[in-house]
Chains A and B, each alone.
Chain A
Amino acid sequence: MSEHGSKAATADTAHAGETRRDFIHIAAGVAAAGGVAMVAWPFVQQLGPAGDTKAASAAEVDLSKVPEGSEIRVGIGGLPFFVRHRTAAEIARAKADDTATMRDPATDESRLVKMADGSYNAAFLITSGACTHLGCVPVGPAQGSVGEFGGWYCPCHGSHYDTSGRIRKGPAPKNLAIPEYAYISPTMIKISL
């Protein structure tokens, strides 16, 4: 191959040893790499959520159906969410603990979302249903166990969450996540993934 290349070498001494064949090799290699990348793109993209899956990634929840002192669990795209109707005592306990020592400090109010009129509806706490340790779904009032802090207890590795969904004891590193949601009326919320 090189014997052909040397014949093609130009008189340009600054590029001695570089041949047109080298250029063709590089150009062909770059074109091939670009082609592979363009083919790979759709093959990777198809792994992502499909259009209908994305369209099904939000749900509206009627808060008036949630009994006080209990919760309902909503699955959106297979992910669990807790919608808890807290009693006055539970709200008071959550607010009282705002100043306690916690692994992931947060006030109760910071874990709520404002309604359309700008006020907070402290009676309803909406959180992710996935324990921040390894993703188990903690048990709550409906399952008869609320853990040492009155919120949730994760049976997998013993994490205790309080009535604001904050991690208080056990291996979980973070508070139960607050999903993206909004009040579309005083009794109706829309949770999005």
Chain B
Amino acid sequence: MSGPSIYEPKTGFEKWLDTRLPIIRFGADLMDFPTPKNLNYWWTFGGILAVCLMVQIATGIVLAMHYVATTQGAFASVERIMRDVDYGWLIRNIHANGASMFFLAVYIHMFRGLYYGSYKAPREVIWILGVVIYLLMMATAFMGYVLPWGQMSFHGSAVITNLIGAIPLVGDTVKTYLMGGPAIGEATLNRFFSLHYLLPFVIAGIVVLHIWALHVPGNNNPTGVSVKDVKKDTLPFHPYYTVKDGFAILLFLLVFAYFVFFAPNALGHADNSIEANPLVTPAHIVPEWYLLPFYAILRAITFDIGPIEAKLLGVFAMFGSILILFVVPWLDTSKVRSMRYRPMAQQFFVLFVLAAVGLGFCGANDPDKLVFKWSDGLVVNYVDTNGAAKVSQKYAEYADATAFQASLPASAGASIAIQEDGFKWLWLSQILGAYYFLYFILILPVLGIVEKPKARPPSIADSVRGKKSGGSSASATPVGGAASVAAE
């Protein structure tokens, strides 16, 4: 998509260098890169993510200068960073909240790609590289969370490594190699520190490939219509998108700074301020918020299917929910990229976003607790004459419950308790989890066949000039057109 290079070396040195290492030409061509002129603010998250990665690497390098990767010293060294190292509190808060900001941005970036069909031909490789980056981000974040060696660090990592242990045949071996011993300990901490330092640079490398792959077909755009005339449909990346991205980055940094300065612990867990104790697991063990939807899917599987046990099935579902993203380009059969022109897909997409966010809430809540209550009453717990524990029927009135209690012999040890019935978080996570998978394996493939897309503008230039539909349109109505604008 990139046209011939328009860079012309001016000084003698630039001419000399251009024939030896054309690095200035490389940068100039990137800045001149023809970019669709209709990109909206959802497209600024790529630049925001680049900033996030740089912030994490810069602050991480600093933290590694002060951090001690031993089970005896890790927790104290983090406290020392917070209390004694000059501006250590600032740099650690940026790093810890930076992980959350990174994931916030990457989720918006991914939803944008899903909505506008940025994964479709010829951009499948960009998407796949993006999923690889996302996987590496999760691995990096998980290992980074272990390093402060708090209670959540320790027991969270125990849960995740045990997940891997559930994989049949190889699980136990992989788990042992991951931990380097019978349990999470010194060896685990050291290798996690090493890998936590390494992986961001691997991510940076794949980001280069991601951007390289992007610069072959060029950016997708909100209409999904390919660039037809570079002169009419595009603008040079600089200054048009450097300024637009820069403005979005500033707004994003405002949110970032709010968390760093005013709510640095809002996204963390209080339990992680207690040093790791291998003998006591915290009462509530949950991962960081950005992993909660997958945690919910893991816990949603409480049933066996044939010979496969629920535990293993849950692990498969959890990994499957991420790995399925790799094949999205081939699951979506629609010829139309942007959901702006796909009235049915739009609605299913909104439900998908709600399901993904809802799964996050499911992951944060106890699966046996109630989302909402539809009835409550009193029950009598007692021991019958055979010595078996029994629960009475539910009574609406206290008098009825006490009457039943009085009817029992004293040896029954009867006691009255409140019983609430309602919609469990477990059930919600099962419904939303089912929708998550159905969206990819059923809805996307079928929609492409049954959906009648609206007319698309003939070109990006036409869409910018306000011609919403070009040529003959069978389904585009004024109402539908307005809806697609609102959904943007």
Name A residues whose Cβ lies closer than 8 Å to a Cβ of B.
1, 41-43, 45-48, 50-53
8 contacts between A and B (CB under 8 A): A41-B87, A43-B62, A46-B65, A46-B86, A50-B66, A50-B86, A51-B83, A51-B85
Contacts of A1 in B (CB 8 A): 239
Q: A47: nearest residue on chain B (CB-CB)?
A: B65
Distance between Cα atoms of A43 and B63 in the complex (Å): 10
A46 and B88 form a contact (CB under 8 A): yes
A46 and B84 form a contact (CB under 8 A): no
Distance between Cα atoms of A71 and B65 in the complex (Å): 36
A51 and B87 form a contact (CB under 8 A): no
Q: B55: nearest residue on chain A (CB-CB)?
A: A39
Verify if B91 is at the interface (C-beta below 8 Å from A): yes
Contacts of B86 in A (CB 8 A): 42, 45-46, 48, 50-51
B239 and A50 form a contact (CB under 8 A): no
Give the top 9 A-B pairs by smallest Cβ distance, nearest first: A42-B87, A51-B84, A50-B84, A45-B86, A52-B84, A50-B85, A46-B87, A46-B86, A45-B87
Q: List 17 additional contacts besides A43-B62, A51-B83, A52-B84; criterion CB under 8 Å.
A: A41-B87, A42-B87, A42-B91, A43-B58, A43-B87, A43-B91, A46-B62, A46-B65, A46-B85, A46-B87, A46-B88, A46-B91, A50-B85, A50-B88, A51-B84, A51-B85, A52-B83
Secondary structure at chain B's binding surface: helix, strand, loop or mixed? helix
Distance between Cα atoms of A29 and B251 in the complex (Å): 18
Which of B65, B86, B90 has the most C-beta atoms of chain A within 10 angstroms of its own C-beta? B86
Contacts of A52 in B (CB 8 A): 80, 83-84
Distance between Cα atoms of A1 and B236 in the complex (Å): 12
Task: Pick the contact of B90: A42, A51, A53 (CB < 8 A).
Answer: A42
In the complex, how many angstroms separate the beta carbon of A56 from the nearest chain B beta carbon? 10
Distance between Cα atoms of A53 and B83 in the complex (Å): 12
Contacts of A41 in B (CB 8 A): 87
Distance between Cα atoms of A107 and B45 in the complex (Å): 70
Q: B239: nearest residue on chain A (CB-CB)?
A: A1
In the complex, how many angstroms separate the beta carbon of B446 from the nearest chain A beta carbon? 49
Contacts of A43 in B (CB 8 A): 58, 62, 87, 91
Contacts of A45 in B (CB 8 A): 86-87
In the complex, how many angstroms separate the beta carbon of A35 from the nearest chain B beta carbon? 10
Distance between Cα atoms of A46 and B90 in the complex (Å): 10
Contacts of A50 in B (CB 8 A): 66, 80, 84-86, 88
Q: A25: nearest residue on chain B (CB-CB)?
A: B239
Distance between Cα atoms of A42 and B58 in the complex (Å): 12
Which of A43, A45, A46, A47 has the most C-beta atoms of chain B within 10 angstroms of its own C-beta? A46
Q: B83: nearest residue on chain A (CB-CB)?
A: A51
Which of B66, B85, B239 has the most C-beta atoms of chain A within 10 angstroms of its own C-beta? B85
Q: List residues 72-94 of chain B with CB under 8 A from any CB of chain A.
A: 80, 83-88, 90-91
Distance between Cα atoms of A52 and B88 in the complex (Å): 13
Distance between Cα atoms of A47 and B63 in the complex (Å): 11
Contacts of B85 in A (CB 8 A): 46, 50-51
In the complex, how many angstroms separate the beta carbon of B241 from the nearest chain A beta carbon? 15
Distance between Cα atoms of A51 and B88 in the complex (Å): 11
In the complex, how many angstroms separate the beta carbon of B79 from the nearest chain A beta carbon? 10
A53 and B239 form a contact (CB under 8 A): no
Distance between Cα atoms of A76 and B176 in the complex (Å): 44
